[in-house]
Amino acid sequence: MAVKDQFRLLWAYLGMSLKTLLEYRLNALLFIGSMIINDLAWMLFWLLFFTRFPNVNGWDFSYMIILYAVICFSYGLASGIFRNANKLQNIIANGTLDYFLPLPKNILYHLLIEKSSQYSLGDILFGLVLAVIFIPIYNFPLFLILSLLSATIIISFQIIIGSISFYIGNSRRLSASLNGGVMSLSSYPLSIYHGIARFIILFLIPAGFLAGVPVELLKSFNLTWFLLLTGFTIAILLIAIGVFYKGLKRYESGNQMYVRS
Amino acid sequence: MWLSKYLAIAKINFKNEFTYFWDFLFDSVFIAIIIFIYSQLWAILFSTGHYSDISGYTLAMLVWYLVMTESIIDFISYVVDNIGDDIKQGNIANYLNKPYNYIIYIYTIHIVMGFVSLILTFLLGSIVAAVTVGGFSFNFLNIPFILITIFLAMSMNLLIMTFLGLFAFWMEDVSAVNFIYQKFVFIIGGTLIPLEFFPEWLAKISSFLPFSYLAYYPAKLFINFNLHQFLDVVAVQILWCIVFIFLILFIYKKAIKKVSINGG
């Protein structure tokens, strides 16, 4: 029953976002279009790169296509449904977290789903189109599962770095830098990292599990790495929830009067 | 005399920015990560043994090239959005009755912030580059020339962004325009990879557009200085600055007539 309630709430918020999107159609199209142009620009960049250097330690252009399919689709899902994960540091620092505290819903879940991003539709569409064209049909269910795991890692990581605001006040730029940094690290071939760098990217920050590992699993499935990825996803999600609620105990109300629109 | 008020604004802004020193530093951390990624990427390519240099670039030159492009480009990408907000929210009206010009005001405060950001990003980037690939041969006598081309590149970038920001008089949201512009600078401007690595047709197109004069040419002069190329680059940069100054004046004159002030 409780789960059903949470889904109803999510559905209501998504419906509201869709109505906003349809109200400002031209603006939405411009945003979605600019995101698709952004993704296409990166694909062009990698096409040019791999034309000049066809093989980077075992990775070729076909790996990059799958990498962008996974990363665009999962990032689109994460920011499309849980937009506030990336804004958590602002919500805490501004005191707007107050709004969620007295409501009879799970605080973290409610604040995460409260906003969605127009950009994300462009990413979701781009990722899906790449996947439909370039991933064999028998691998499509695996693509969906890996993308969901990847989206969970993105949201969990954003919760962790957003929660820094509970401890140091406004961490807007630090969190943005860390988020951008991890997303960047994950959007390059996993094969370029070796030694300590590879260990850090795989196990200390989630960049490798976020995209590189899913790509290698889609290219050549390996049960051990799949289980490692699943375990890592569950662990980072639990850590994120723990860090958020531990931080919440330190939260001081913004004591702010404002009208929600 | 007229310049002194803008310099005073710049001075205040400089002090303001240093109040948020850690914010600046956090921004630069992201660039350090990007430089680290590319040092790994190039190192892998060079480790295959197929290349001793790529189109004349050694491993160290490629990484230091990126340090310079990122230091120049990684500043004030939000100018377009800021101008857009000033116009959308009506703040522009507050600037019109002040004894200074809005466009020169925007230029002055951001060029100062740009140089602060440049120094920090370059220092942090240099540490990453020095640790990952070491140094490269550099003649310190070239510094004044390189600073001139960097200053012109930053001015060009600011002028183009101001030009794009003014479109907010006609468009609801200019952030999408900014987003696309930044991508052009990244790819056609040679921010991440020198233009020699791209097909000839793209390098040719790029030489007719302003983007490569924002990143590629200043960075190339930094790692491999050539006086003739310096003079050519500076001439083209000045030309592009003049073109955008005229475009801004033209569009600003037209746009300002659209402003209606209703008190408040």
Reported as a single tens digit per residue, the pLDDT across A188-232 is: 898 888 888 888 888 888 889 999 999 999 999 999 999 999 999
Q: Name the most confidently modeled range: B106-120, B135-149, B160-174.
A: B135-149
Q: Which two tokens stand for residue A218?
A: 């889609």
* Residue B264 scores a pLDDT above 60: no
* Residue A32 scores a pLDDT above 90: no
Which of A177, A191, A198 would you mutate first to test chain B, the one with the most B CBs within 10 A?
A177
Q: Which H/E stretch holds residue B197?
A: none
Complex confidence, ipTM: 0.80
How far, in Å, are A87, A162, A178, A179, A205 from residue A175 at the CA level? 9, 6, 5, 6, 14
Which stretch of A115-124, A226-235, B12-21, B198-207 has the lowest confidence by average pLDDT?
A: B12-21
Residue with tokens 């600055």: B241
**β-bridge partners, B57:** B54
Helices (H), chain A: 2-23, 25-52, 61-81, 88-94, 107-113, 119-134, 140-162, 164-168, 172-186, 196-199, 207, 213-219, 223-248
Q: In chain B, count of helices (H) and strands (E)?
A: 11, 0
**Cα(A164)–Cα(A154) distance, integer angstroms:** 16
**β-bridge partners, B54:** B57
Chain B: closest CA distance from residue A174 (Å):
5
**φ, ψ (nearest 5 deg) of residue B20:** -105, 45
Tell me whether residues A194 and B187 touch, CB distance under 8 A: no
Tell me whether residues A184 and B172 touch, CB distance under 8 A: no
Tell me whether residues A49 and B197 touch, CB distance under 8 A: yes
User: Rounded mean pLDDT of chain B?
Assistant: 85
Q: In chain A, what residues touch B198 (CB-CB under 8 Å)? A: 48, 52
Which of B34, B35, B40, B50 would you mutate first to test chain A, the one with the most A CBs within 10 A?
B40
**Cα(A47)–Cα(B199) distance, integer angstroms:** 11
pLDDT score, position B217: 95
**Cα(A106)–Cα(A113) distance, integer angstroms:** 11
Q: Please, are residues B184 and A45 in contact by the beta-carbon 8 Å criterion?
A: no
Residue with tokens 């009067």: A257
* Residue A255 scores a pLDDT above 80: no
Cβ count within 10 A of residue B137:
9
